A and B are shown apart, each in its own frame.
Chain A
Amino acid sequence: MAFMLGLGAYRTSNGPVLNADLPLSMSEMSWQLTDHRKRAVRSADWIGRSTMVFFGFTWCPDVCPTTLSDISGWLEELGPDADRLNIALISVDPDRDTPDVLAEYVANFDPRIAGLTGTPSQIAQAAEDFRVSYRKVPRDGDDYTMDHTAGVFLFYPDGRFASIIDFHEDRRFAVPKIRRALS
């Protein structure tokens, strides 16, 4: 784990984004996005509180609603402590996920979960900062789906990266990880 953290500590700004890389510290990130209430959000705005964030898209039928349901369950389990978190879904599908589309979507889950989107280059910047991969996969006609990194990222209040909750990780490990990021 210490070795992998080391990997995340250096990079070349235009180099390929490797899956093994871990997210930057929030203070080293430079993304700016728009939330589902059409407000601008920058990486610096998330320093000072713990953060729980994942990448997805609202056309995603399986992984994304499952992750959002999991997160909603973890928040229930955390109780009032969950109020101390920044929580967001960052869309990897800016063509379809406008702020209005995200607003309609996140309304189905815990109200503390924000939806963030932006221009394709803003999304690319966020993905690079978090070391996230995503790719458009064409389907029949002009339909498409997105492959994307599926884990949930946790950050300490000072912006340092804390840990990842993997998609298939046992639910029993998730809440303790979040509590650690809250400390």
Chain B
Amino acid sequence: MKHLLLAATLSLTASAAFACETVTVGDLSVEHGWSKVTIGAGRPGVFYVSISNAGATDDALVGISTPAAGMPMLHETVLKDGVASMPHAMSIPVLAGQSVQLSPGGYHGMLMGLTAALKEGDSFPVTLSFEKAGEVTVNVEVLSVRAEGPDCADAEQ
């Protein structure tokens, strides 16, 4: 059943513009959701996204969920004495008036237990849970393994 659901999700993916949509919840806007191709379904996938907080109250990203993976988690890549590790991030601060990026080499969603291998051009939904603003779902675009982010006309990075 889960496979069927994902297949249905993945098949409505012709457009490459998903990652460039901005969705909002309360004072937060979420955009540029993207992921990378995986070799097979055994390896974990990644999820990157930009979040900005236009409000006057601090918020925090506390979890993610997606039909594409059985065990999605928030991680932070940390370098200490040149050694990289990826501890679980319990909460990613989204401070008032500021923005935060989940991006290569920093915070990321770690998609463990993928339902299917992620292929270039696929897209899948990820629901982000914020401590105060609640939940919001973005469409995530799967880019090549060498990609550095989606190509959006309005991209400010």
Q: Are A69 and B146 in contact (CB under 8 A)?
A: yes
The DSSP consensus for interface residues of chain B is loop
Q: Which among A30-38, A44-52, A136-144 touches the partner chain?
A: A136-144
Residue of A59, A65, A68, A149 near B83 (CB, 8 A) is A149
Q: Are A147 and B39 in contact (CB under 8 A)?
A: no
Residue of A58, A62, A164 near B46 (CB, 8 A) is A62
Q: Are A69 and B84 in contact (CB under 8 A)?
A: no
Residue of B71, B105, B148 near A62 (CB, 8 A) is B105
Task: Give the contacts of A62-95 with B (CB-CB under 8 A).
Answer: 62-63, 65-66, 68-69, 72
Task: Tell me the bound Cα distance from A19 to B79 in angstroms.
Answer: 12
B22 contacts A by Cβ under 8 Å = no
Task: Give the contacts of B50-89 with A (CB-CB under 8 A).
Answer: 71, 75, 77, 79, 81-86
A39 contacts B by Cβ under 8 Å = no
Q: Are B71 and A150 in contact (CB under 8 A)?
A: no
Tell me, rounded to whole Å, the shortest Cβ–Cβ distance linking A65 to chain B.
5
Task: Tell me the bound Cα distance from A19 to B80 in angstroms.
Answer: 10
Closest to B71 in A: A140
The proximity string for B residues 34-45 relative to A, scoring 1 for CB distances below 8 Å and 0 otherwise, is 001111001111
Tell me, rounded to whole Å, the shortest Cβ–Cβ distance linking B55 to chain A.
29
Task: Tell me the bound Cα distance from A137 to B78 in angstroms.
Answer: 14
Given the complex, which residues of A lie within 8 Å of B92, measured CB to CB?
Answer: none
B112 contacts A by Cβ under 8 Å = yes
Q: Are A69 and B148 in contact (CB under 8 A)?
A: yes
A163 contacts B by Cβ under 8 Å = no
Task: Tell me the bound Cα distance from A102 to B153 in angstroms.
Answer: 36
Closest to A65 in B: B145
Closest to A72 in B: B146
Task: List 28 A-B residue pairs with CB atoms under 8 Å apart, sorted by A's residue number.
Answer: A19-B81, A58-B43, A61-B36, A61-B38, A61-B108, A62-B46, A62-B75, A62-B86, A65-B104, A65-B146, A66-B104, A66-B105, A69-B146, A72-B146, A108-B39, A108-B145, A133-B81, A137-B85, A140-B112, A148-B84, A149-B83, A149-B84, A150-B82, A150-B83, A164-B82, A167-B79, A167-B105, A168-B79
